[in-house]
Amino acid sequence: MRISLPRIGLGGAPLGNMFHPVSEETADATLDAAWEAGFRYYDVSPHYGAGLAEQRFGRLLSRKPRDEFVLSTKVGRLLEPADKPENAKPFVDELPNKRVPDYSADGARRSIEDSLERLGVDRLDVVFIHDLSEDQWGPQWRDYFTQAMQGAAKELTQLREEGSIRGWGLGVNLVEPCRLALEQSDPDVFLLAGRYSLIEHHEALDTLFPTCQERGVGIVVGGPFNSGVLAGGSHYEYDEIPPAVRDKKARLEAVAERFGVDLRSAALHFCLANPVVLSAIPGTANPQRPKQYMDYFNASVPANFWRALKDEGLLREDVPVPA
């Protein structure tokens, strides 16, 4: 792989008031707990709470030695002051900023400058072009994709060549944009949310990961618990949990109980077993979770558990699992 990252990181969306408000005290306690638990990779975005998550991460990271952590954020939406918050779903009680889609080279530069100011740091390690996909923009996504390939992608490539950033890629919820980006540009890493997990992994495994492996492009798995489904959450991709997902989760839980395995630990270990996956980044706004996540990461999962999942058709026979 052309780039390396810590194997586990902290995703920033929940600290942008995703689904429900989070007090500043709780946000600070969560980030302090993450640092104390050993997290040294943090991913955030201007989109999360219209700048709120970046501000909150900045309160922690601006006080830490810059060489001791890895930081990624995203471009694609510029923030402009507004009279009132947009509260764009799934976020609530946001900062009073308006999102302006901009995937141009100039937009990428401006977005990075604004993020650095909110985060209180002097550099970023990785920059993802955010939500360049149909689930976010509908049919218009292809126009934005073209703009990004001609604009933001070239700007980020130049920043990487200059040494200003270590790498760049897309941060998306769908596989197709990543495949197209590999055809049209030279990314280093993709942040793929919810598409490689115990619940869902077929498309990425078949259509994206082989090319990534050939090209030395890494994957950061966002949402390794599938929007929290595998950790007892009540949402799936910002909506209600579909019956098919509930059924598969129940079957996974039954096998996990049989082998005395915590399904959350299994979810992390599964993602990280694939050789193209560099890191998994669960998110939280609960100060108790970071240590729990690190415990899941450090736990061992017996080999016969993975064999049972394959025997019961819950995992494909050819999918990589921990040795």
Domain residue spans of the chain: 10-311
Is residue 77 left, alpha or beta, with left meaning phi > 0 and alpha meaning psi from -120 to 50? Answer: beta
Is residue 238's pLDDT more than 80? no
Q: Which of 50, 48, 108 is nearest to 79 (CA)?
A: 50
Average pLDDT on 19-27 reads: 97
Distance CA 212, CA 323 (A): 21
Torsion of CA 27, 93, 230, 271, to 10 degrees: -70
Mean pLDDT, rounded, of the chain: 96
- The beta-carbon contacts of 167-170 under 8 Å, at least 24 apart in sequence, are 167/2, 167/3, 167/125, 167/126, 168/126, 168/127, 168/128, 168/129, 169/126, 169/128, 169/129, 169/217, 170/128, 170/129, 170/130, 170/132
Residue 287: CB atoms within 10 A of its CB come to 18
In this prediction, residue 195 carries a pLDDT of: 93
Fold of 10-311: TIM Barrel (3.20.20)
Give the single-character DSSP code of 14.
G
Give the single-character DSSP code of 87.
-
In this prediction, residue 166 carries a pLDDT of: 98
Q: State the pLDDT confidence band at 253, using cuts at 50, 70 and 90.
A: very high
Q: Which of 35, 76, 84 is nearest to 56 (CA)?
A: 35
Tell if the pTM clears 0.85, that is, is over it: yes
Cβ atoms of residues 27 and 56 within 8 Å: yes
Average pLDDT on 21-47 reads: 98
pLDDT digits (tens, 9 = 90+) for 130-177: 999 999 999 999 999 999 999 999 999 999 999 999 999 999 999 999
Q: Which of 175, 170, 130, 113 is nearest to 16 (CA)?
A: 130
Is residue 233's pLDDT more than 80? no
Alpha carbon 144 to chain centroid, angstroms:
20
CB neighbours of 66 closer than 8 A, spacing ≥ 6? 121, 122, 123
Q: Which of 66, 159, 171 is nearest to 113 (CA)?
A: 159
Is residue 221's pLDDT more than 90? yes
- C-alpha angle 242-209-273 in degrees, rounded to nearest 5: 80
Average pLDDT on 27-37 reads: 98
Cβ atoms of residues 226 and 245 within 8 Å: yes
Average pLDDT on 253-276 reads: 97
Q: State the pLDDT confidence band at 66, using cuts at 50, 70 and 90.
A: very high
Cβ atoms of residues 277 and 218 within 8 Å: yes
Is residue 311's pLDDT more than 90? yes
In the block, which residue shows the tokens 């955010």? 130
pLDDT digits (tens, 9 = 90+) for 179-192: 999 999 999 999 99
Which tokens go with 1? 């792989």
Q: Which of 43, 38, 34 is nearest to 13 (CA)?
A: 43
Is residue 280's pLDDT more than 80? yes
In this prediction, residue 35 carries a pLDDT of: 98
Distance CA 80, CA 15 (A): 20
Q: State the pLDDT confidence band at 230, using cuts at 50, 70 and 90.
A: confident
Distance CA 196, CA 271 (A): 7
Average pLDDT on 34-59 reads: 98
42 belongs to the catalytic site? no
Task: Give me the catalytic one of 42, 48, 144, 236.
Answer: 48
For residue 267, the SS3 value is helix
**Percent of the chain whose pLDDT exceeds 70:** 100
Is residue 246's pLDDT more than 80? yes
Is residue 236's pLDDT more than 90? no
